[in-house]
């Protein structure tokens, strides 16, 4: 069933993840087929939001302007395919900050739900991530999730007891919908 709302993690799902953090728009490189997959979701009528932990801000590895430039690059690539991303929510806190927005907490999902303008309905919503934190956040929020093997996905699949559907990439998941 095609979801009405799709929540995507960013690093490792949409773009290539780096152990030393993606710190600039120049370093931000999309995963193969991810931009086209987002455009296809939008063409199918899905509302698409992005929930991303970005502790590199708090670590001083990049600035808010750098993060904005990365997101503008992402938005521009999707726009070049004739579509828009509906909303992006990010957490800039360190992992031990105890905030409510950093996944696996649900604050980013609440922010996206506010941007959507109404409650996410479980059977009409899906989150796509590459880490256990993404899956836990979705479960805590009461929405289904899928794991992709890009980014940290293969390690997550190997080291966690995953009960969620697993796909090779965002593109493979989107292709399975239509």
Helix (H) / strand (E) element for 124: namely none
Q: Please indicate if the annotation marks 126 as binding a ligand.
A: no
Residues that are catalytic: 9, 11
19 is in an annotated binding site: no
Consult the annotation and say whether 11 binds a ligand. Answer: yes
Rounded distance, CA 62 to CA 71, Å?
Answer: 13
Quickly count: other Cβ atoms within 10 Å of residue 82's Cβ. 9
Residue 106, SS3?
Answer: coil
47, two tokens: 């509302």
Give the C-alpha separation, 60 to 156, whole Å: 27
Question: 28, 142, 146: which is closest to 88 by C-alpha?
Answer: 28
In the numeric block, which tokens belong to residue 169?
């990439």
Instruction: Say whether 46 counts as a known binding-site residue.
Output: no
User: Annotation-wise, does 66 bind a ligand?
Assistant: no
Binding residues: 9, 11, 91, 93, 99, 101, 130
Binding residues for Zn(2+): 91, 93, 99, 101
């Amino acid at each position: 069933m095609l979801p009405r709302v799709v929540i995507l993690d960013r690093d490792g799902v949409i773009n290539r993840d780096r152990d030393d953090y993606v710190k600039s728009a120049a370093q931000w490189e999309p995963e193969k087929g991810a931009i086209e997959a987002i455009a296809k979701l939008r063409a199918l009528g899905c509302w698409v939001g992005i929930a991303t932990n970005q502790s590199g801000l708090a670590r001083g590895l990049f600035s808010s302007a750098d993060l904005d430039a990365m997101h503008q690059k992402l938005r521009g690539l999707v726009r070049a395919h004739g579509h828009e991303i509906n909303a992006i929510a990010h957490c800039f806190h360190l992992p031990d900050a105890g905030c409510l927005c950093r996944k696996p907490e649900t604050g980013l999902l609440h922010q996206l739900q506010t941007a959507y303008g109404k409650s996410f309905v479980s059977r009409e919503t899906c989150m796509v991530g590459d880490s256990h934190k993404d899956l836990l956040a979705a479960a805590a929020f009461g929405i289904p999730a899928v794991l992709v093997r890009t980014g940290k996905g293969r390690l997550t699949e190997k080291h966690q007891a995953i009960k969620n559907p697993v796909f090779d990439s965002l593109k493979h998941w989107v292709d399975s919908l239509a």
